Amino acid sequence: MAHDKRYLAQKRQRRRRKAAKAKVKLYEQGKIPYDKLPVLAKKFHARKRRASRKAE
């Protein structure tokens, strides 16, 4: 039972992450403004920006 619950929660989180990453991609293409991004997508974008700055 606990495994099933955890699996469903994991599935739900994966869907949220996938949707957030898609929003980041749209933002980078200039199709949506930054203020329309969900919170999770803003976190992903910030992490991506930090990583790219560190790589320079």
- For residue 1, pLDDT over 90 is answered with no
Domain ranges of the chain: 2-55
Question: What pLDDT does residue 53 have?
Answer: 93
Question: What pLDDT does residue 56 have?
Answer: 81
String of DSSP letters for 1-56: -HHHHHHHHHHHHHHHHHHHHHHHHHHHTTSS-GGGS-HHHHHHHHHHHHHHHHH-
Question: What pLDDT does residue 45 have?
Answer: 97
pLDDT in tens, 23-55: 999 999 999 999 999 999 999 999 999 999 999
Question: What pLDDT does residue 17 have?
Answer: 97
Global confidence as pTM: 0.81
